[in-house]
Amino acid sequence: MINDTIAGVSTAVGNSGISVIRLSGPDAFLIADKIFKGKYSVSEQESHTIQYGKIISNETNEVIDEVLLIKMEAPRTYTREDVVEISSHGGYTIASSLLNLLYSNGARPAEPGEFTKRAFLNGRIDLSQAEAVMDIIQARTQRVSKVAVKQLEGSVSQKLNVIRERIITLLSDIEVNLDYPEYDAEEITLAQAGKETTSIIIEIDSLIKSFHYGKLLREGMEIVISGRPNVGKSSLMNRLTRKNRSIVTDIPGTTRDTVEEYVNIKGIPVKLVDTAGVRETLDQVEQQGVERTIKAISDADLVILLIDISQGFTAEDHDLLNKILKERKPYVLCFNKTDLVDDKQKINDNINLYPDAIPMSISEDRGVDELEERIFGYATENSQDIDNQVLITNARHEGQLKKAKEHLESAYRASVSKMTLDMVALDLKAALEELGKITGDHADQDVINAIFSRFCLGK
């Protein structure tokens, strides 16, 4: 039972048109009545209505601001508690004065994410839905926002609940066998356990595999543009960002350090890194740039290796490709400056050697769209229905799913090895608990506190 009332600013700090102050808890209406003067008292105001009035200091009788006040009675609120939202004029001074009034009249400052935490503790949302709230706030593309909204609506929770129900049903069948051994149906139940467990593992494995795309969607994808000096790396960077972010000249070695820019490629948030050209050099500054390029490649999710096809595939190109392969990084090979090659057979010969390479002319804007498609294809791994499938975007969820899968695999091995049913049941119960940690049914208090501590104030 939560007995205190909290208050916090739900809008961003700084000058703005309005600031929204949120008050939640059992004394929300009583505290608001002490400082708000309108046509009706807050206690008399109908629920889910807006009232114009003034905030007045009950110590100095001074008018602080003219506001609109929304009253919302539990349980039809965000936190399932009595809630008051006050829309005041924006700005740090007004918001601070209003909050201090609420604090002096019985409210306490809300901790980061505490409104959402109360929604979770009061059963309005589960833990995975609460985490989706922060994903919505931090979404950098519409596609990310769309996935987060689906998770807030319960797409992950519903899928996990179906899986958990299947495990519970299997456990209940086993418990019947353990409680009534005279029916001697253990062999049949073991066979059922093996078959059903295999089916559940397949479902969980599908969710785990979706994390590849989900992680890139949620956290963004880091792509390094690499190659020898003057192969067109900076030109490609500028083309993908649609602005002159990198300096472009005919002088090799112009880019001495990594240049970073965030872009949206078909709904995927991407951090593009334009790197210094990799070559043997005595220039100490350029050497440091090359070292940073190698470091960037090792940290990347995907590497674009740009080749100046007018000069052919050189020994330096092969060395850089070997460095990428050594790091075991996925890469896209692009043959740039095809417009400078008169002998088209030269291009075809290289394409035959590297059939996945993309022929490209950045100056003539050819091949860049295909590159963007290739990037999107890597991120989605050619998923057929990414807009409708349930995606795992949270590393914590992936970790719990993997633990649940391990227990289910152990239960399967126990069933096919003709071990006792109670051994199978132990692993099934452990898998059930790991899945429950995702939705919060079995989550540790420390985990819950850590999750909500990452939220912003007022949410």
Tens-place pLDDT, residues 234-285: 889 888 887 654 444 444 444 444 678 888 888 888 888 887 655 444 444 4
6-110: in CATH 3.50.50.60: no
Q: Under DSSP, is residue 75 helix (H, G, I), strand (E, B) or coil? A: coil
Class of domain 131-210+392-453 as given by CATH: mainly alpha
- The pLDDT of residue 382 is 54
Burial 179-215 (b: 16+ CB within 10 A, else e): eeeeeeeeeebbeebbebbeebbeebeebbebbbbbb
- The pLDDT of residue 1 is 56
Whether the link from the prior residue into 252 is cis, omega within 30° of 0, is no
- The pLDDT of residue 256 is 40
- Kind plus residue range of the DSSP H or E element containing 128: helix 127-138
Domain 217-380: CATH architecture, name and number where available: 3-Layer(aba) Sandwich (3.40)
Q: Where in the chain is the domain with CATH 3.40.50.300?
A: 217-380
**Whole-number Å distance between alpha carbons of 397 and 404:** 11
**Is the Cβ–Cβ distance between 304 and 273 less than 8 Å?**
no
Q: Where in the chain is the domain with CATH 1.20.120.430?
A: 131-210+392-453
- The pLDDT of residue 383 is 56
* Low pLDDT (below 50) residues in the chain: 185, 245-257, 279-286, 384
Neighbours of 291 (CB within 10 A): 12
**Whole-number Å distance between alpha carbons of 77 and 29:** 14
DSSP output for 129-141: HHHHHHHHHH--S
- The pLDDT of residue 254 is 43
pLDDT digits (tens, 9 = 90+) for 289-338: 556 767 778 888 899 999 998 888 888 888 888 888 888 889 999 999 98
**Which is it for strands 302-308 and 6-9: parallel, antiparallel or unpaired?**
unpaired
